[in-house]
Amino acid sequence: MRYRLLSALVLSAVTRLAEGAPAAASYDYIVVGSGPGGGPLAAELARAGYSTLLLEAGGDEGDNPTYADIQNFNEAANDEATRWDFWVKHSDDPARELKFEHTTWDTGDGTFYVGLDPPEGAKHLGIQYPRAAVLGGCAMHNAAVCALPADDDWNIIVNKTGDTSWSADNMRKYLKKIERNEYLAAGNPDRGYDGWLATTVGDASWAQNSSLPALKILKTLASLTGQDPNDVANLVNSDLLENVPNVDEKQSFYNMATHSDSKGKRNSPNNYIRATLADPANYPLTVQLHTLVTRVLFDNSTKPRAIGVEVITGPSLYRADPKHDREASDLPPTTQIFAKREIIISGGAFNSPQLLKLSGIGPAAELAKFNIPLIKDLPGVGENLGDNYEGSLLAIGQSEYPVESGLITLLFRTPNAPDNRRNIYTWCGAFSFEGFWPGFPTWHGPTQYTCAMVHMQPKSQAGTVLLRSSDPRDTPDINFNFFKRNGDQDLSELVEAGKLLRKAIASASDTFVGPFEEKHPCKGPLGTEGCGDEVEKEYYKTQAYSHHATSTCAIGGEKEEMAVVDSKFRVYGVEGLRVVDASVFPVVPGAFPSCPTMMISVKAAEDIIEEAKKTPVV
């Protein structure tokens, strides 16, 4: 399949944000990256009275309907206006990599080829992993699912560092602080109603219509997961963000919560940043767009202390940007900007470790390879890359009738999970979702029906983010090393999840929408038996995909060799430098990291402000 390189159709509507040199030479804080980690943090610091410069490599698309209207999330992730293409690997095995059905190639004529039979002369790119270079970061192009990690995902930080502020019980207060709930009656003590992040749910009234074939799927899923099939109309309205005892062991339907409002408008750090800039209080926040940070500057007179950043300015400077000028070889002129207090890196799981390494912080041998002066040997930088495994069971109805259905959201535990926690988040409906590639998703016709799933608690976090060069415009070499550790266990859990979902879809085969043809993981008439565990394991091993990269600058104890930051987000071995984004999670935080990352962003602001009150400016 060939896909046209998309063109940017809508330019930024907010031109008042700075796109050149900053208005001041020095700030209290410089925050690098405006996504779920950096955006709320910069706004919080400014609202506390600290002069803060927020640097963003992209522009602002907050008024662009492609991003503002949540229903357009597929278009947003494909849009060249903000898209950064990272071409990643899932393993070190070239033959295995070429089995990935959505492997992408550059044809050389301005198009991509996606598939297993590229045209002669096409250049192999790899597996697309799109990120968003835009004010608000990847929270501007995702599906905006707002979910929480398992309690153990928070508590692991307590166990590693002894910092009880990371306990699951305490972390709920940050959800309450940021949330503006638009779907629950006021007064729930665990939820927020006056924060900056709107949350809402969809209409689940379809589950009251007993004539819909999808209701049979819903009731079968209820039976298979220990729920009452006769109560599904109520169960599908369960609150995804509920706070009940042993919630992580509860198999339940939910109404998928999203960080959007009741009018279908996306809510993200973009909204909070813009509200802070527009506030009559005139908070000291400066936002500088189209600015790529090339390195952090240090004062090395005693213990290394971060004092500023070096930047280049202009659109599409990073080579992940499909609009980047491939003919530009020389690095544009650099500018230095200084901070009186701290530098905070919030570039995400790929760019934060890259920037640390370019600045001299990382594995000493890797930095020496590129003649980067060593500031601090931290072997964990760029290691421990983790992600959820994602896959789907896709069936095509062989009748002329589509499977009329609302969205079914279910969290459940496969029988072979190693502990009592639910390990699969699935959503089923009349859509197609098979991963990410230029031009995704594929439309399989009006009778398509999919159960997509996210595998939680992956056992293998063995991925790496390595430098390709010392040029800050180059993308890093990213290898997720899927299934490298305890792979058979993870694969077995995916297979068991697929078996349950297959039985549910097959239950509708005797209705007017059936029979179904299974497209994957098995091929052929949809039954209840599948095509065999080993065949299905091989499918997931070669075709699993992901979009929730984390953990490359992981929080850990002071004596942990691979720890990068402490429980207050401070980079070990230097002063005045923190990392605040999804890269700090020691493990992948549940099924969707967007809301958890916004939560730790405001936690970091709380930690930084508390420390600033006690510490005079150096």
Pairing of the two strands 197-201 and 257-258 = antiparallel
Q: For residues 380 and 564, is the Cβ–Cβ distance under 8 A? A: yes
Cα–chain center distance at 265: 19
What confidence score (pLDDT) does residue 5 get?
A: 31
**364-388 average pLDDT score:** 98
Q: Residue 150: how many CA atoms within 13 Å on its side-chain side? A: 25
**22-29 average pLDDT score:** 76
Using alpha carbons only, give the angle 142, 202, 507 rounded to the nearest 5 degrees.
95
The amino acid at residue 69 is: D
Distance, in Å, from the CA atom of 605 to the CA atom of 603, rounded to the nearest integer, reads 5
Residue 13, pLDDT > 80, answer no
Q: Is 587 annotated as a binding residue?
A: no
DSSP reduced 3-state for 290: coil
Mean per-residue pLDDT over the chain, rounded: 95
The tens digit of pLDDT for each residue in 101-117 reads 999 999 999 899 999 99
Residue ranges per structural domain of the chain: 13-71+266-383+551-614, 84-132, 203-255+388-543
**242-261 average pLDDT score:** 97
Residue 369, pLDDT > 60, answer yes
Distance, in Å, from the CA atom of 199 to the CA atom of 193, rounded to the nearest integer, reads 9
Q: Is 554 annotated as a binding residue?
A: no
Residue 6, pLDDT > 90, answer no
Q: Is 144 annotated as a binding residue?
A: yes
**494-519 average pLDDT score:** 96
| pLDDT-based confidence at residue 478 (cuts at 50, 70, 90) | very high
Using alpha carbons only, give the angle 32, 261, 227 rounded to the nearest 5 degrees.
105
Percentage with pLDDT > 70 across the chain: 96
Q: For residues 482 and 435, is the Cβ–Cβ distance under 8 A? A: no
Pairing of the two strands 52-55 and 26-32 = parallel
What confidence score (pLDDT) does residue 616 get?
A: 82
Return the higher-pLDDT residue of 13 and 433.
433
DSSP reduced 3-state for 133: coil
User: Which element (helix H / strand E) includes 393?
Assistant: strand 389-397
Which CATH topology does 203-255+388-543 take? Cholesterol Oxidase; domain 2 (3.30.410)
Kindly give, in sequence order, each residue whose CB lies less than 8 Å from that of residue 519, ignoring residues fewer than 6 positions away. 394, 395, 396, 444
What confidence score (pLDDT) does residue 327 get?
A: 84
Domain 13-71+266-383+551-614 in CATH 3.50.50.60: yes
The tens digit of pLDDT for each residue in 488-505 reads 999 999 999 999 999 999
Q: Is 293 annotated as a binding residue?
A: yes
Taking Cα atoms as reference points, which of 279, 260, 278, 203 lies closest to residue 68? 260
What confidence score (pLDDT) does residue 101 get?
A: 97
Beta strands in 36-185 (DSSP E): 52-55, 83-88, 104-106, 111-114, 123-132, 179-181
Q: Is 142 annotated as a binding residue?
A: yes
Percentage with pLDDT > 90 across the chain: 94
The tens digit of pLDDT for each residue in 314-357 reads 999 999 999 999 888 889 999 999 999 999 999 999 999 999 99
The tens digit of pLDDT for each residue in 547-576 reads 999 999 999 999 999 999 999 999 999 999
**365-385 average pLDDT score:** 98
| pLDDT-based confidence at residue 24 (cuts at 50, 70, 90) | low
Residue 167, pLDDT > 80, answer yes
The tens digit of pLDDT for each residue in 199-248 reads 999 999 999 999 999 999 999 999 999 999 999 999 999 999 999 999 99
| pLDDT-based confidence at residue 618 (cuts at 50, 70, 90) | low
Q: For residues 599 and 585, is the Cβ–Cβ distance under 8 A? A: no
